[in-house]
Amino acid sequence: MTDKGQHLDLSSGDEFSSAQQAGSSAAAGQFLGVHFQCCDVYVRVYPNAERTAYQGNCPRCARPVKFLIGEEGTCARFFSAR
């Protein structure tokens, strides 16, 4: 029973990593919640094609925002833009 559990765990992890590399569909659910203080609106911001940063615009005044994806700050999912 222990062996079976380990095997399942390994295979599912492998499947997950290959799916991440394979297509952009794996990243479809990734977004950042950003609150634009300029217009007091909340929108979702998605990563750019290179997945180096989250980029978006305020839906009312088109103010651009950009949050770099790196070793710092990736844990946070909600930001405020001024």
In the bound state with Zn ion, the residue whose beta carbon lies nearer, of 57 and 69, is 57
Taking a C-beta distance cutoff of 8 angstroms, is the pair 38, 58 a contact?
Answer: yes
Residues 6+ apart with CB under 8 A from 45: 31, 32, 33, 34, 54, 55, 56, 65, 67
Strands 32-36 and 41-47: antiparallel
In the bound state with Zn ion, the residue whose beta carbon lies nearer, of 26 and 63, is 63
Residue 57: CB minimum distance to Zn ion, A: 9
Residue 67: CB minimum distance to Zn ion, A: 16
Residue 47: CB minimum distance to Zn ion, A: 21
Question: Taking CB under 5 A as the rule, does residue 39 contact Zn ion?
Answer: yes
Q: Which of 61, 74, 76, 77 binds Zn ion (CB under 5 A)?
A: 61
Taking a C-beta distance cutoff of 8 angstroms, is the pair 65, 56 a contact?
Answer: yes
Task: Return residues touching Zn ion (CB under 5 A).
Answer: 36, 38-39, 58, 60-61, 63
